[in-house]
Structures are given as structure tokens and as C-alpha cells.
Amino acid sequence: MAEIARRTTENNNRVMFLIHRREVLNQAVKTFKNQAVNLNLLTAGMVQTLTRRVDKLPVPDVILVDEAHHALAKSYQNILNKFPKAIVLLFTATPRRTGRQQLDQIADDIIVGQSIHDLTEKGFLAPFRYFQPPGDFDEKALKRGSTGDYTAESMQEAMSTKIFGHIVKQYKRIADGKQAVVYTYSVDSAIKIATEFNSAGISAIEVDGTTSKEKRDRAVCKFRDQQLKILVNVNLFTEGVDLPNVDCVIMARPTASLALYLQFSMRCLNPRPGKTAIIIDHANNFKKFGYPDDDRDWKLAIKSGKQKSKTLLKDPGISIVTCDYCFAVVRAADVKDGKCPICGKPIKIHEAKPVSDVDLVEATKARKEHIKKIIQDQVMTNVVDKSVSELKSMSELVAYGKLHGYKPGWAYFMAKKKGIFK
């Protein structure tokens, strides 16, 4: 972006840079200076400020919009519509917006950069391990609000009150000692989580939209100086804040936004020699969105209309399983010899509990369906490493077919061929 600005001003043309966060603006202006951009030909400011004096702004030849998934907002449109002859370049790492209106409303085309997977392979991003602790979450309770994301009230209902202590327990087990950012859904939950960490002897501070700038800056500085282990926040540290030493992200809230999910999960991917980042997802977000580094069809993502995030995956049929021992979330294809690639324990093998520890529950229709799904998942896991010749039952053939994306009739054909039924 800075190089585009430099070349533009070098040819005596004007550049305008738009962003909505002060932190990003300050970083950008510093970069522009270092890259020898002619500041006399640069208008850089927050959209909230520039939109109020749009009639007095010098006419730009090129407009650079950072975090451009926000560019459909009225404040941005007020500026962009004022300069219809300007070349507009939109930059974002998360081009998918919540809702039906997408960037095709203002963009003619999308130039897709290198994938997260490729950037990781080249060392620009850290590799990661993904964990999904079980329980404490009721997805059915979630309701969407006017923003397109889930309401704070429904998230409060969905997340069990047990989650606060559970978060600390899982952090100590999975990522003990690592600096972590926790994303949660309300001020009250953030305070409770920070309190639980401090009670366990792990230094934590809670910050949210009501926190004064001075207190927020002090918390960030302490975190950067490694004087603070845990930074608990409500919708603050998603864009524009430089936190280079985050080694762990804890998602204590669900989201319906792919952009927000990627901002959450990728916060810990700043590289460092020997680093493996830890992502702990307490809200089943990966089931909706896949892994952060999954390949996505971004050209499809910018098209307006109703789309599920999972349909954007280049390979939406990827099967994912959770290890019952270490809670790592792994691709089924990575399971070798029936063992978790993270901890080496068998996948989907449960130790029997004493009868005295188990309360009997009514076998309702809903519970029967739940049990049926568990059994189906078990069968799918069992056939991951098998060849077709090793499949012995119709259920295994069906599971194998689903795992490999075969048409439903494939299992029937193979069952006939194998003589499983005449």
C-alpha cells in the first residue's frame, strides 16, 4: 500500500488514505514517511473525521481504503461518492461481511493474495494448534441482532456460567505460561474471566469499550512488556492493534461473522522462530467456519446474497474430529493409525465411567438423534485410514463415501459388489 502511495505521489498525483482506527492511522502515516511518500500530496485520516469535512478535502487521484470490509458504511460512502473520478483500491484480509450486502456493491473485481496456508509455509505466519474443549455451550440459544452477529443476551444464555473457571482450567492444561488474548461477549463475562485468572495466580486485566484510553493503553503496554499474561477484552483487539507477543487466543464467545472469526483466531499468528500458536475455541466456531488457514473462495465471498460461510471453503467436505484426550481439533485425514497427531492418544475411545457417576436421562427423540449422530461420527472416524477393500459394512461404506465426497449411490453400488446384500 505504501509503495502504491509512493509511486502515485512521485508522479505528482494526490493520494487519500482512509481508516477507522487511530492506531492504524498512526502506523500507516509512519510507514508512508519511511517509504518516502510525498506527504504534501497525502491526505490521511480516520473516516469519522474526513466525512465531516469532505467538501473541504483536496481532490485525490487515488483512494486507498484499509480494513475495506467496512467500506459499505455511510461514512465511507459519503467520501467515495464525493470523488467519483478517483481510482479506489480496497484492502482487507477479510473481504466477507456479515449480512447480504457484500463488496461487489462497490468493487469491480478482487485480487486475491497469498493464502494463509502459503504465508505460514513461507514463515510469514506462525503454525498453530487448534483446541475445542467440550461442553459448556448451547448453540440453539443463539439469536442474531441488527448487526448480523449474535446478540450479547443470546450469547450470555448460550455460554454456561461454568465456562469462566473452565477457561482457566483449559488454559493451564493447554497453554500454561503463554501470553493470551481472550475474546468474550460482554463486560460482565470479561470481568469474571479476568477475576478467575487472577484468583488462579495468573495476571489478567479486563478492557472493553467503556475502559478509559489511559487504562487501555497501560494494559496494552504491560502486555507488550510481558508484565501481563492475559488480556481479556470485549470486541477491542480485532483490528489495528499491534500485539506481537500473543501466543494464544481464547474464544469465549461465538460469532456469525467470518471476518470476526478470522480476526480472533489469527491474532496469535505473528511468527517467531520455533513458535507454535495455540487457539482455544470454547464456542464451536470452527464448525461453522473451518480452520483459519483453510482455502476459501474469496471471489464468491464478495458477491451479495445469502451464503453460509462453509460454502466459501474450497473443500467444504473436510472432515474434522476432536480428540477426547487433549481436545485438539484435527482434520480426519491427519489421523494416522487411529491416533491423534497432537498427543498420540487413540481418537474417539472413551473410558467407561462407574454407573454411580452417571445420572440416567430420558431417551427422548432429540437425544436419540444426538446418539445416532455420535455413532455416525464414530464410524466415520473408524474408516479414515481404511481402503475400500477393508470396509465390511453398509454403515462403513456410507461413512467412507461421505468422507470422500462420493455420491450417495456409491455406497449402495459397493455394497452390492462386495456382497454385503444381494
User: Distance between CA atoms of 232 and 180, rounded to whole angstroms?
Assistant: 8
Residue 284 class from Cβ within 10 Å (0-12 exposed, 13-18 middle, 19+ buried)?
middle
Bigger pLDDT: 235 vs 29 = 29
pLDDT given for residue 384 in this prediction: 57
pLDDT at 361 over 50: no
Average pLDDT (364-391) is 58
Q: Could you tell me the three cell numbers for 268?
A: 496469535
pLDDT at 214 over 50: yes
pLDDT given for residue 284 in this prediction: 81
pLDDT given for residue 358 in this prediction: 28
Other CB atoms closer than 10 Å to residue 161's CB: what's the count? 11
pLDDT at 364 over 50: no
Single out the residue of 130, 112, 119, 115 nearest to residue 271, CA to CA.
Answer: 119
- What is the fold of 117-318? Rossmann fold (3.40.50)
pLDDT given for residue 353 in this prediction: 32
Judge contact between 2 and 42, C-beta under 8 A: no
pLDDT given for residue 357 in this prediction: 30
Coil, helix or strand at residue 421: coil
pLDDT given for residue 309 in this prediction: 72
Task: State which of 50-64, 149-163, 353-367, 396-410 shows the largest mean pLDDT.
Answer: 50-64
Measured on CA atoms in the order 59, 62, 67, 69, is the torsion positive or negative?
positive
pLDDT given for residue 6 in this prediction: 93
Task: Kindly indicate the confidence band of residue 382, based on its pLDDT and cuts at 50, 70 and 90.
Answer: low
Residue 150 class from Cβ within 10 Å (0-12 exposed, 13-18 middle, 19+ buried)?
buried
pLDDT digits (tens, 9 = 90+) for 244-257: 789 999 998 888 88
* Pick from 1-5, 128-132, 251-255, 308-312: least confident: 308-312
User: Distance between CA atoms of 217 and 196, rounded to whole angstroms?
Assistant: 23
Bigger pLDDT: 316 vs 58 = 58
pLDDT digits (tens, 9 = 90+) for 82-125: 999 999 999 888 777 777 788 888 888 888 888 888 899 899 99
pLDDT given for residue 316 in this prediction: 58
User: Distance between CA atoms of 282 and 251, rounded to whole angstroms?
Assistant: 6
pLDDT given for residue 362 in this prediction: 33
Bigger pLDDT: 165 vs 199 = 199
Residue 302 class from Cβ within 10 Å (0-12 exposed, 13-18 middle, 19+ buried)?
buried
Q: What are the sequence ranges of the domains in the chain?
A: 2-92, 117-318, 362-418
* Pick from 13-17, 123-127, 164-168: least confident: 164-168
pTM for this predicted structure:
0.66
Average pLDDT (190-199) is 93
What is the pLDDT of the chain when averaged over all its residues? Answer: 80
* Domain 2-92 and domain 117-318 have a common topology: yes
Question: How many Cα atoms occupy the beta-carbon half-sphere of 281 within 13 Å?
Answer: 27
pLDDT given for residue 373 in this prediction: 55
Average pLDDT (220-247) is 82
Task: Kindly indicate the confidence band of residue 242, based on its pLDDT and cuts at 50, 70 and 90.
Answer: low
pLDDT given for residue 176 in this prediction: 93
Number of H helices, E strands in the chain: 15, 12
- What is the fold of 2-92? Rossmann fold (3.40.50)
pLDDT given for residue 239 in this prediction: 56
pLDDT given for residue 329 in this prediction: 77
Question: How many Cα atoms occupy the beta-carbon half-sphere of 142 within 13 Å?
Answer: 17
Task: Kindly indicate the confidence band of residue 187, based on its pLDDT and cuts at 50, 70 and 90.
Answer: confident
pLDDT given for residue 352 in this prediction: 29
Residue with C-alpha cell 461518492?
81
pLDDT given for residue 359 in this prediction: 30
Q: What is the CA radius of gyration of the chain?
A: 25
Task: State which of 183-197, 341-355, 376-390, 404-418 shows the largest mean pLDDT.
Answer: 183-197
Average pLDDT (159-166) is 70
